[in-house]
A and B are shown apart, each in its own frame.
Chain A
């Protein structure tokens, strides 16, 4: 029978977490617990082990002792417990109590056959305790190698921190009083001030160069623009002259020509009309074919008084053409020769009116008579004389018009000779043409004015430069530039020196700031005391460098190398350096030393080294075992069985707690159960507990004294993290 009760407060910053037992108050002597890690199973086991003075037992693994001592530390945990342990025959009962929250004192009362004795620490010799995690040595090795990794990181952090501290120390020393440094700083300040002064002089010299070059360029440009200005002025004057001419031409020439031309153009159609009218009259008086026959018959061609053209109609047509070519022949026909001809023909015909001559088989008289009749009928004229008179009037009119036109033609010719470029144009066309020229002229002027203004602007800024003042500014350097007459060439020099000035300015600012900083440092240092570690400055610098080297190694290669080992299936690198080989050798030996020994049936192997790449545990006797064989459950149970059997042979009543047995398979566990039952039946087992973790939300226990017993749910972890007891604990 096992009776239990406990309260535990875990310090979690400002708030403590409180726990009490989740299990039934009375439990069998042998049972199995399973559940997730947060139900406090291991803490419960540690309490029982503490009650058995596990932390003072030599055969207790160090890790277990550490855990028990930690649990009993009142600064970390506020713990009370009370356990009652009784063997099968009830001949022996142990009452174990921790009553005081603030003390690690444990009271142990042994009750044998009704007699009580306070046995205290002697419990550890009178009663056995096997409290172990039947761990897999391989997983232990993996844990240890992980621990090396953590230790390396931890060490690296320490190194980094130390490096920082050394660095701060060096800064403090550098800022503390150092008479020699003070002198050096003073010298440096002096040198820098001198340097700065030189730099200022250089800058002034360069600025002077820039000033001189700008004026020289201005001078060169002035010359260039003056020439251009003169040229432009000349062009402008030319354009102005042309403009006046064009205005005159447009005002007088164009208008006069237009006027004369208009007069001629308007009168020509009237003239043509009059001629056409004359032509009609003549046509009526002398129909072409008949008149021609008549002339042939009367043989008037031979008349020497005048000479007729081939026929009158052609003559009239000829006259019209003459009129149309108004500027040439018409004005030469001053005698109206052709008109007179027409009149004469009529007079001739009348002379033959009373003759016996026949015309076209009919007497002329009769022909004239019938012709007159036609004239009367068609023209409404009384006789051909009236028609002739009308024709003469028309001819006079024609003559008058020809005279006017001739005069107009003369005026036209005069105007054209005076204004050869003038022509017949409208006013708007003339204006447009003129305006275009004026716009072009204005553009030229504007362009010229801008150039002049630009140069004028420079004059305003720098004052009108002269060769003398440029020479004065540039002094001995003047001759280097005087040979360059092209302003563009000088512009390149100007750019170069301008850049030099800018560079000098920046340099002056930087040096000025540095000088200010040095002066401040100097002044500050003067007020300080000498640093106590001043004399170690060199040593601290050296240590600082060493920490840098160490840091590189710990965070670099050592980190990479250990990572390789902690890999699930590490492979030996194909190119392994001597240092890396050495590292693995050391680690292998270190791990072997920590694990120290490995038990397997009938033998304990003292480990010499552990080969990760070969996956071997190697003993000092040269024997070795593969990781895979070392981790088997059979080996572990054999070891445990050995320990329990030994205790049983000594007939020692005992408490056996086996934590983390999850790695053991069912057949192996069954064999352990049997062994423990056997121990119980021999009245030697005061308490036997086995534990294994699960991912379940429940905490279970199982009575191992009853065969085929089931797991019972003891508590449940709710979704909100709270724990609910499922069986009355007290």
Chain B
């Protein structure tokens, strides 16, 4: 998928999901390649 499309689908998911935490989970999952990074990122902001 091209970058543009990637951003758009990210935007699509983020708009689709209302809950702040859930939104963040999806966003982090799009950005992070592995789960450890994703968890670290999710916890860092807490």
* A147 pairs with B29, CB closer than 8 A: no
Which chain A positions have C-beta within 8 A of B43? 533, 536, 539-540
* B9 pairs with A547, CB closer than 8 A: no
What CA separation (Å) do A162 and B25 show in the bound complex?
9
Selecting from A218-226, A369-377, A585-593, the interface stretch reads A585-593
What CA separation (Å) do A263 and B8 show in the bound complex?
135
* B8 pairs with A593, CB closer than 8 A: yes
* A166 pairs with B39, CB closer than 8 A: yes
* A162 pairs with B29, CB closer than 8 A: yes
Which chain B positions have C-beta within 8 A of A235? none
Which chain A positions have C-beta within 8 A of B4? 62, 594
Selected contact of B2 from candidates A62, A165, A542, A549, CB within 8 Å: A62
Which chain B positions have C-beta within 8 A of A161? 35
In residues 1-46 of chain B, which contact A (Cβ within 8 Å)? Answer: 1-2, 4-5, 8-9, 11-13, 15-17, 19, 21-22, 25-26, 29-30, 35-36, 38-39, 42-43, 46
Which chain A positions have C-beta within 8 A of B12? 148, 586-587, 590
Residue of B nearest to A161 (CB): B35
Which chain B positions have C-beta within 8 A of A151? 1, 9, 13
* A547 pairs with B25, CB closer than 8 A: yes
Residue of A nearest to B38 (CB): A162
* A586 pairs with B35, CB closer than 8 A: no
Selected contact of A63 from candidates B2, B26, B35, CB within 8 Å: B2
Taking the nearest CB of chain B, how far is it from the CB of A137, in angstroms?
Answer: 15
Residue of A nearest to B30 (CB): A155
Any chain B CB within 8 A of the CB of A546? Answer: yes
Residue of A nearest to B3 (CB): A62
Taking the nearest CB of chain B, how far is it from the CB of A63, in angstroms?
Answer: 7
* B9 pairs with A546, CB closer than 8 A: no
What CA separation (Å) do A539 and B46 show in the bound complex?
8
* B39 pairs with A162, CB closer than 8 A: yes
Residue of B nearest to A66 (CB): B2
Residue of B nearest to A545 (CB): B21
* A148 pairs with B9, CB closer than 8 A: yes
Which chain A positions have C-beta within 8 A of B9? 147-148, 151, 590
Any chain B CB within 8 A of the CB of A599? Answer: no
Residue of B nearest to A593 (CB): B8
A536-557 interface code vs B (CB 8 A; 1 in, 0 out): 1001101100110110000000
* A546 pairs with B19, CB closer than 8 A: yes
Selected contact of A546 from candidates B5, B25, B30, B39, CB within 8 Å: B25
* B21 pairs with A543, CB closer than 8 A: yes
Taking the nearest CB of chain B, how far is it from the CB of A148, in angstroms?
Answer: 7
* B2 pairs with A155, CB closer than 8 A: no
Residue of B nearest to A65 (CB): B2
Any chain B CB within 8 A of the CB of A158? Answer: yes
Selected contact of A165 from candidates B5, B26, B36, CB within 8 Å: B36
* B25 pairs with A586, CB closer than 8 A: no
Any chain B CB within 8 A of the CB of A583? Answer: yes
- Known A62-B2, A543-B21; judge A586-B29 contact (CB<8 A): no
Taking the nearest CB of chain A, how far is it from the CB of B20, in angstroms?
Answer: 10
What CA separation (Å) do A590 and B8 show in the bound complex?
7
Residue of A nearest to B42 (CB): A543
What CA separation (Å) do A388 and B38 show in the bound complex?
153
What CA separation (Å) do A533 and B17 show in the bound complex?
27
What CA separation (Å) do A106 and B26 show in the bound complex?
41
A560-596 interface code vs B (CB 8 A; 1 in, 0 out): 0000000000000000000000110011001001100
What CA separation (Å) do A319 and B11 show in the bound complex?
145
Shortest beta-carbon contacts, A-B, top 10: A165-B35, A590-B12, A62-B2, A158-B29, A546-B21, A536-B43, A539-B46, A546-B22, A586-B15, A593-B8
Query: 9 more A-B contacts (CB under 8 A) besides A158-B29, A549-B22?
Result: A62-B4, A147-B5, A148-B12, A162-B25, A162-B29, A169-B39, A543-B42, A550-B17, A594-B8
